[in-house]
Chains A and B, each alone.
Chain A
Amino acid sequence: MSANSHQESPWMGSVGIGMLLLGLAGGILALSFIGYSVTHSHAIWTGGRVATILVGFYGLMGVLAGLVNSSVEAGNGDGHDDHGHDEHAHHGSFSPFIVGVGILTFLYGFVESYAILVIGLLVILLGAVNWWREDYPNDGKQEMKSLGQPYKGQDVRKVGLWVLLMSEILIFGSFFSSYLRMRMGWSTHWNEDCNSMLETGSELPVCSESYVIVASEYVTHSFWTLLPGAINTFALILSSYTVVLALKSAKAHEFVPSKNKWIRMWMPDRRRAVRNNLLATLALGTLFLILKLIEWEHLIYGEDFTVKSSLAGSIFYVSTGAHGFHVFVGLIFLCYFCFKAHNDGWQPENSQSIEYFGLYWHFVDLAWVAIFPAFYLY
């Protein structure tokens, strides 16, 4: 990585940060247990456990980042490998294929056996680490261009990502169109007859056999039940903006610190501007998942609205769960980006990787723009 003489070097390595995060995860678990013992709030206990798992996972990624970083630096010290290739040349990668096989095995194991499921997870981890190891020295000078129409001249990675997003639109489109079609045939809380019964004192009306209770009825019931979904919406929009800021900082050939003294204090140079904006994105994504699971906990245990309770429950959990899974996948990639940023790994020449991650992250935001009003508000 090209070092910038004006920038301060990180005082702590990735392994140190990883260990710190593992300790923090233990602290969060202890605090949430104490909080639950005192208040008996399931939200605190659920939120604490989810935060522990995620922060612990980031800690493991930190340790892994440190090890990968060391091995890459040791292996490429002279700038050339044993075959006489330039260290920066792009060799292509089998890692996405390995990850794909891992996901296939994982999903098969999900239905068949836990042993196969664990093997699938290990294959995914193997592919991800190898992918990470291969991408770490990428300085963006060997970006491959598409040769064929209709994408001639475009970056291959960008085209690949858009094709992925195209398939993602189909996945979420199928969930959304199924829900929309079913919802059009249901009698819900918008039914006038049911509402007249509601006024008579029945908390949740049972005015006809076809009446279906949808998730939004529980969610919009009060300000406090809507709050997690609303905060999540703002968190995702804000996180989209912080990705844009990280990219702008990484792309700037001459980084100019902000005139605002508070922002300047946190982001005095490119390294810290990129890293801290990415960290903000990671924190907001983590908040999203924590609030999502607190909300699920309330719906499942507080309202008895489960994936098996009705078609409405099934489509709600499948759609929001698929979205949450996409957020989690984004956070895994974000961990790598944060640790690389910590080691001053992002320069204007290779900033397009942040751009491509941003495309994925904005898509996750885009999917939520459709899910939030349809499943939570209406």
Chain B
Amino acid sequence: MGEYAATGFEKWLKDKTGKDIYFWNFIALMVLTVIEVAAVYIDWTEVLGTTLENAKLLTWAILIGVGLVKVYGIAGFFMHLKGDPFIYTKTAVFPLFFVMLMLYGIGLSNPGGIDDLPRWCLPPWLK
């Protein structure tokens, strides 16, 4: 949210509507949240005539897709990563590498990673 040079599209948006990019970002986030809630309440098995398994995957895909757009809206505009020096974006993305490593190390690489997680996390003297 520091000094920020608006792009051509953002200037055009402000000229046409009188509202800046922050306002439209806020509106977009609200609409996307409604879409998230709707995606869960719509019975895709009836609407699309598909199996529950496919409906589950579709709902999951919508939630992840919409969530990623919301993350971009908040981090890019509200937290101003879009206008700030790139080092801040790198700072924000850096820990995600460890999150991926954690997900892989705890879960995907070991079949006991799901149900045995609490036992793994206990210190030796409590086992």
Q: Which residues of A contact B (CB under 8 A)?
A: 150-151, 154, 158, 162-163, 165-167, 169-170, 173-174, 176-178, 180-182, 184-186, 190, 192, 195, 220, 226, 230, 233-234, 237-238, 240-241, 244-245, 247-248, 311, 314, 352, 355, 358-359, 362-363, 365-366, 369-370, 372-374, 377-378
Contact = CB atoms under 8 A, between A and B. Distances in A.
Interface of B: 1-2, 22-23, 26, 29-30, 33, 36-37, 39-41, 51-53, 56, 59-60, 63-64, 66-67, 70-71, 74-75, 78-79, 85, 87-88, 91-92, 94-96, 98-99, 102-103, 106-108, 113-115, 117-118
Given A178-B117, A377-B63, A362 B103 contact: no
A245 B22 CA distance: 9
A166 to B, nearest CB: 5
B106 A238 contact: no
Contacts of A311: 117-118
A366 B74 CA distance: 7
Contact of A377 (B23, B40, B78, B85): B40
Nearest to B28: A237
Contact of B92 (A165, A184, A370): A165
Sorted nearest first, the 10 A-B pairs with minimum C-beta distance are A181-B107, A185-B114, A173-B99, A241-B26, A373-B63, A177-B103, A169-B95, A377-B40, A362-B78, A190-B56
A363 B67 contact: no
B99 A182 contact: no
A175 to B, nearest CB: 10
Contacts, number: 135
B71 A220 contact: no
Contact of A241 (B22, B56, B107): B22
A151 B89 CA distance: 12
A237 B107 contact: no
22 contacts: A150-B87, A151-B87, A158-B2, A166-B91, A166-B95, A170-B95, A173-B96, A173-B102, A180-B103, A181-B113, A184-B107, A190-B56, A234-B30, A238-B30, A244-B22, A245-B22, A247-B1, A311-B117, A355-B1, A369-B67, A372-B36, A374-B63
Contacts of A162: 88, 91-92
Query: Of B1, B40, B52, B75, which is in contact with the most chain A CB atoms at under 10 Å from its CB?
Result: B1
Contact of B78 (A173, A182, A226, A365): A365
A378 B63 contact: yes
A186 B113 CA distance: 12
B54 to A, nearest CB: 11
Nearest to A314: B118
A239 B23 CA distance: 12
A373 B40 CA distance: 9
Contacts of A363: 79
A167 B22 CA distance: 27
B79 A369 contact: no
Contact of A378 (B40, B52, B85, B91): B40
Given A173-B96, A185-B115, A240-B26, A359 B1 contact: yes
B78 A244 contact: yes
Contact of A358 (B1, B108, B114, B117): B1
Nearest to B39: A377
A377 B36 contact: yes
